[in-house]
Structure 1
Amino acid sequence: MARLDNASVVVTGAASGLGRAVVDRFTAEGASVVAFDRSQEKLDTLKAEIGESVVTVVGDVTRYEDNLRACEAAVDRRGKLDTFIGNAGLWDFNRSLAESDPQSLASGFDELFAVNVKGYLLGAKAALPALTASRGSIVFTLSNASFYPRGGCPLYVASKHAGVGLVRQLAYELAPDVRVNAVAPGGMATDLRGPGAMGLADTSIEDALPIRDVIRTFSALQLDIRPEDYVGSYVLLAAREESATATGTVIDISSVGTPGRSAAP
C-alpha cells in the first residue's frame, strides 16, 4: 500500500521545479492531485506526462477565487480534500536594499509578498472548509531563508520569515481540526522567477547564477541537490499515520553551510 493511497491533494506552483517534483512523488504514492499553476503550457505538459492521477487548474494564487476553484476541483473529483500544499513563490534574486531603487522596492514588495504570503493565506482560507471536514492538513513551502540571512535579500527573506509566523498562527487557530506545517528546503536548480515589477519575471534562478555549483561548494553535504531530493518531507507531513502529532512545525531540510562557509542561497 502506497503512503498516500486515496489522498486528495492540491499543489500550487505545481507545473515546474519543486512543485512538479511534489506532484510526481505524490501521484507515485497513490494520491489524486489537483495541480494549480499560472502556466497553461506547463500544466498541459504535466497532464500529458502523468495522466489521470492529475487534474489541472490554471489560475493566480493571489486571487481567492482561483484558490477556491482548485480546492473545489479536488472535492469534485474525490469527494474530499486531505492536504493543501502552498508552494508557489517568487525570489528576489539577491537584490539588496542599497541597490534597489525606491519604486521597484515598493512594487517588488507588493508583488513578492502577494505570492509568497498572501497566496498561502488565501489558499488556506479556500481550503479550510474541506480540510475541516476531512481533518486534513496544510503544508507550506518555506526556505532556509526562514531562519537565516543570505538565502535572498530583504524581500525574500522577510517573506519567508513571515511564512513561519503564518504556520504557527494557523496551527494555533485551526487546531484540533487541521494540522498546519511547512517544509524549508535549501537551494536548488529550478525555474524559480522573480517579481515582474523588478524586471525579474523572465529570469530563472538557473539563468542568474550557477546554483548547482554553489550548492555543491557551500553546503555541508556538498550534494548536487535536485527538487526531488526535498519531497520526502512533504509526503511525511501529508501522511496521517506518519505525522498525526505534527502541527506548527517547520522541517528544515536545507543542507546549511559548514563552519566558515556561507549557507546555500
Structure 2
Amino acid sequence: MGWLEGKAALVTGGASGLGRAIAERFVHEGARVLVVDRSRDKLEQLGADLGGRLVTFAGDVTSPADNTGAVAAAVEAFGRLDVFVGNAGLWDFNRPLLGSSIEDTARAFDELFAVNVKGYLLGARAAAEALRPTRGSMIFTLSNASFFPRGGGPLYTASKHAGLGLVRQLAYELAPDVRVNGVAPGGMATDLRGPSSLGLDRQSISDAMPVQELLRKHMALEIYIEPSDYAGTYVLLASRENSSTVTGAVFDISSFGTPQREATPEGLVVL
C-alpha cells in the first residue's frame, strides 16, 4: 500500500519534467491524479503511459477560468481533492539585469511572473475550498533561487522569492484546515522553457547547458540528478499521515556544492 492510497491530487505543469515525475510517483503511491498542462500532445502521451488513475486537463495556469475548471474536473473525476501541487513555471536562463532592454524586461516580467507567481496564487484560490473538507495540502515548487542568488537572473530569482512568501502567507491564512508547504529542488535536465518575450521559449534548459554534468561535477553528492530524484519530498508532504505537523515549511533539496567547490558561472537551478 502506497503513502497516497485513496488520495486525489492536482498537479500543474505536469506533462513533462519534474511535474511528470511527481504525477508518476503519486500514481505509484496510490493516488489518482489530474494533470494540468498547456501541451495537449504531452498530455495525450502522459495519459497513454499512466492509464486509468490519471486524468488530464489542457489549460493555462494564468487563466482564472482554467484553474477553476481544473479543480472542478478533479472533484468530478475523483469525488474529492486532497493535494494541490503548483509546479508550472518558466526560467529566465540566467538573463542578467543589463542583458535586456528596459522594454523587454518589462514584457518578460509580466510573462514570467504571470506563470511563476500569479499561476500559483490562482491555483491556490481555485483549490482552497475543495481542500478544506479533506484537510488537504498545497505544495509549491520553489527553487534554490528562493533563498540564494545565481540560481537564475533577477526575474526568476524574484519570482521564486515571491513564491516563498506565498507559501508562508497561505500557511498562515489557511491553517488549521489546509497545510501549505514548498519544495526547493536544484538543477535537473528538463524541457523547462523561458519567456517568449525574450525569445527563450524555443529552447529548453537541456538544450542550453549540460545540466547533469555540471551538477555531477560541482555538487556535493556528485551524482546525475533526474527529475524523479526530487519527487519523494512531494510524496512526504502530500501524505498527512507522514507530515501532519508540517506547514509553512520549504524543504531545500537542491544538493549544493561543498564550501570548497566554486559555483559554476552558468548557475545550477532549475525549476
TM-score class, shorter-chain normalisation, is over 0.9
1:139 corresponds to 2:139: yes
Output one character per residue of 1:171-225: Cα deviation in whole Å (capped at 9) or x when no partner: 0000001100010000000000000111011110011111111111111111100
| Aligned equivalent of 1:48 | 48
CA distance in 1, matches of 2:223, 2:162: 28
Give the aligned residue type for 1:29: E
Distance 1:144 1:9 in 2: 25
CA contact (8 A) 1:17 1:191 kept: yes
Aligned to 2:262: 261
Name the residue aligned to 1:125. 125
CA contact (8 A) 1:255 1:264 kept: no
CA distance in 2, matches of 1:64, 1:131: 18
How far apart in 1 are the matches of 2:132 and 2:2?
A: 24
Farther off after superposition, 252-261 or 185-194: 252-261
The residue that corresponds to 1:226 in the other structure is 226
Give 1:4's aligned residue. 4
- % same residue: 62
Other structure's SS at 2:52 match: coil
Once residues 78 and 43 of structure 1 are traced to their aligned partners in structure 2, the CA distance between those partners, rounded to angstroms, is 18
Match of 2:181, SS state, is strand
Cα deviation, residue 126, structure 1: 0.2
Superposed CA RMSD: 0.8
1:102 and 1:209 map into 2 onto residues whose CA distance is: 26
Question: What is the CA–CA distance in structure 2 between the aligned matches of 1:83 and 1:98, rounded to whole Å?
Answer: 40
Question: In the alignment, which residue of structure 1 is the partner of 2:103?
Answer: 103
Within 2, Cα distance between the matches of 1:70 and 1:220?
39
**How far, CA to CA, are the matches of 2:38 and 2:71 in structure 1?**
15
Q: Distance in 2 between matches of 1:105 and 1:256?
A: 29
- Mark the runs of 5 or more structure 2 residues left unpaired by the alignment: none
Query: Where do 4+ consecutive residues of structure 1 move more than 4 Å?
Result: none
Aligned residue pairs, count: 265
Residue 16 in 1 paired to residue 16 in 2? yes
Tell me the alpha carbon deviations over residues 156-179 of structure 1, each in whole angstroms, 9 at most, x when there is no partner.
Answer: 011001111000000000000110
Tell me by how many angstroms 1:264 deviates.
2.6
Does the CA-based 8 Å contact 1:219-1:264 persist in structure 2? no
What is aligned with 1:164?
Answer: 164
